[in-house]
Amino acid sequence: MSEVRLIEVPEDYAGQRLDNFLLARLKGVPKSMIYRVIRKGEVRVNKGRAKPDRKLESGDIVRVPPIRVTETVTVTPSQGLINTLDKAVIHDDKGLLIINKPSGLAVHGGSGINIGLIEALRQAYKAPFLELVHRLDRDTSGCVMVARKRSVLKHLQEALRHKGVIQKRYLAVVNGHWPKHMTVVDVPLKRCEYPNGERVVRVHDEGKASVTHFKVIQYFEGCTLIAAKPLTGRTHQIRVHALHAGHPLVGDDKYTPPELNKAMRGQGFKRLCLHAHNLDLTLADKTPVSVMADLPIEIAAPLKKMGLEAFDVRYF
């Protein structure tokens, strides 16, 4: 970019931080450079200096100085991925998309991942605004909310901060016989990093409060199909709470002993058996939204061979 730009903040972006506003518009510019030009006062809001955490208002004029943008290679999603995501849409209105994300697809690119769900959707929809409301682990499948308006993003993220306002329910297959009386796991979780750089989550007294409700759906030989409803949204929460309960998830390469995963692969389970099954929420205009993402075939097929029975999808 070789010239000064003056950008008027659209109404839908009111409340966004200045640094995030710039990061979204200066693709290819290192974060360090963006923070440097803000710190030096080269970025102005309504002709005045501003800090990175300045909350913008509708109609604000942001002065963006000339910045050399690094050449970047745009990774285009394959037609196969576009077709998969097109079939995976389970809710679509002017403000909100809900996608049944397949296992193995990260929600966003980075750290060696060329393209994720959000990048693929942005290129497929060519929409002016598409942002993830929340995240799912790469190997977890199921419901992911994507906002099509800034106002919807703000409303839903605020709702997620309050327990029980948005009902998120998961299905999981765990090793062993989960006790029916074990309906709540309430232990704090903390992110840890090993010397080799691997990041994990552990139960730790200094961690953040974390609560998950569990319910047995059906018992099978060597495993149990359970429902899980997290009341908090910590990284790997269901996976680590299940491990803490003594019944780690089938197919979890990070937290489940390899010998257990090997045994369950023999039963046909080839992936992490965790699926974001359904969502209940209310939009800002009081419109209720209730969606369900069917249990994927990679999990359903082995369970059917083991005698899976029909179950009530509203198990909480």
Q: Look at residue 99 in the predicted model and tell me its pLDDT.
A: 97
Q: Look at residue 258 in the predicted model and tell me its pLDDT.
A: 96
Range of the domain at 34: 5-64
**Would 267 be classed as within a structural domain?**
yes
Q: Look at residue 24 in the predicted model and tell me its pLDDT.
A: 80
Q: How far apart are CA 278 and CA 79, in angstroms?
A: 27
Question: In total, how many domains does the chain have?
Answer: 3
Would you give the distance in Å from CA 33 to the centre of its chain?
Answer: 28
**Would 174 be classed as within a structural domain?**
yes
Q: Look at residue 73 in the predicted model and tell me its pLDDT.
A: 53
Q: Look at residue 11 in the predicted model and tell me its pLDDT.
A: 81
Q: Look at residue 111 in the predicted model and tell me its pLDDT.
A: 57
Q: Look at residue 203 in the predicted model and tell me its pLDDT.
A: 96
Cβ atoms of 142 and 101 within 8 Å: the answer is yes
Q: Are residues 257 and 179 in the same domain?
A: yes
Q: Look at residue 256 in the predicted model and tell me its pLDDT.
A: 97
**Would 157 be classed as within a structural domain?**
no
Percent of the chain exceeding pLDDT 70 equals 95
Would you give the distance in Å from CA 6 to the centre of its chain?
Answer: 33
Comparing CA positions, the residue from 71, 69, 63, 70 lying closest to residue 2 is: 69
Residue 79, both tokens = 């037609």
pLDDT-flagged residues of the chain (< 50): none
Q: Look at residue 14 in the predicted model and tell me its pLDDT.
A: 82
Which is the catalytic residue, given 12, 19, 60, 137? 137
**Would 158 be classed as within a structural domain?**
no
**Would 148 be classed as within a structural domain?**
yes
Cβ atoms of 280 and 176 within 8 Å: the answer is no
Q: Residue 99 maps to which CATH number?
A: 3.30.2350.10
**Would 183 be classed as within a structural domain?**
yes
Q: Are residues 203 and 268 in the same domain?
A: yes
Half-sphere exposure (CA, 13 Å, Cβ side) for 102? Answer: 14
* Those residues with Cβ within 8 angstroms of residue 271's Cβ, 6 or more apart along the chain or in another chain: 103, 104, 139, 251, 298, 299
**Would 159 be classed as within a structural domain?**
no
Amino acid at 131: E
β-strands 223-230, 211-220: how paired?
A: antiparallel
Q: How far apart are CA 242 and CA 157, in angstroms?
A: 26
* Those residues with Cβ within 8 angstroms of residue 242's Cβ, 6 or more apart along the chain or in another chain: 172, 174, 185, 214, 226, 228, 248, 249
Would you give the distance in Å from CA 103 to the centre of its chain?
Answer: 12
Residue 250, both tokens = 């089938």
Would you give the distance in Å from CA 7 to the centre of its chain?
Answer: 30
Q: Look at residue 10 in the predicted model and tell me its pLDDT.
A: 86
pLDDT digits over 114-132, tens only?
A: 788 998 998 888 887 899 9
Active site residue 137: yes
Q: Look at residue 301 in the predicted model and tell me its pLDDT.
A: 97
Q: Are residues 236 and 271 in the same domain?
A: yes
pLDDT digits over 250-266, tens only?
A: 999 999 999 999 999 99
- Name the domain boundary from 101, 117, 152: 152
Q: Are residues 201 and 231 in the same domain?
A: yes
